[in-house]
Chain A
C-alpha cells in the first residue's frame, strides 16, 4: 500500500526543546516537501528536496532544519530557535523533473509547544 506516513499525529513538547518530525514515503518519489499550516494562512513551504543529499530553503525556513540521507525519508527538526512552533506540519512528495507534478500529502503532525 503506497503512500506517505507521518508520525506521530499529535506531538507535545516543552518550550526550548528541539523536536524531529518524521516523514516516510514508498512512492519512489524524488522530491519531498515540508509545509506548515496555520489557520487562515494556507500552506507555507519550509524546506524542499529534489534529490537525495540535497535540499533547499522554502519561504519560512528559519528555526527549522532537514536532512535527506535516503530517498524515502525527509525528517524535519523544529529547533528552539523557531519562535512560534505550534502548528500543523504537512509532508508531501512528488515526482521530480521538468514537468510540474501533483503533490501527495501525508496525514500531518499537529505540534503543540507548551
Chain B
C-alpha cells in the first residue's frame, strides 16, 4: 500500500511566486525519489535523496530529506509556466511506493 502521503493535492501558484510541496511518512524511509509528470505525459525522474537532512538543488528546485527520514519537501522558487505538472514523491526499495502527487497549476 501507499507509504507516503503528499500535501497539498493541488497547488495553484501565481507566476513568479514560490511554493513548497511535502511528502510525509509514518515510518522511516530508506530513500526518497521525486518525479515530475507533465500533463498528458509520463513521470520523469528528478532526484533521489538518501541521507538524513540531505539537501539538493536543481536550479530553482530545492529538495530536502528530513532529519528523521520520515518526510521530504520540494521547494520551487520563482514559479514559471514550465513548472506545471504533477510532482510525485516515491520511496522505499525496488518496489517503489508513490504518493498521490501534488498537481501544480500556474497563473500567468
Contacts and interface: CB of A to CB of B under 8 A. Distances in A.
A43 B88 contact: yes
A57 B95 CA distance: 10
Interface residues of B, number: 25
Given A50-B94, A100-B30, A100-B93, A42 B42 contact: no
Interface stretch (A14-22, A62-70, A77-85, A104-112): A104-112
A31 to B, nearest CB: 6
A108 B98 contact: no
Contacts of B98: 35, 42-44
Contact of A40 (B31, B44, B97, B100): B100
Interface string B69-89: 000000000000000000010
A58 interface: yes
B52 to A, nearest CB: 15
Given A42-B88, A59-B1, A104 B96 contact: no
Contacts of B66: none
Contact of A45 (B9, B95, B99): B95
A103 B45 CA distance: 7
Interface of B: 1-2, 6, 9, 30-31, 33, 41-45, 48, 50, 88, 90, 93-101
Minimum-distance CB pairs A-B, first 8: A102-B45, A42-B100, A43-B98, A105-B42, A42-B98, A100-B31, A105-B43, A42-B101
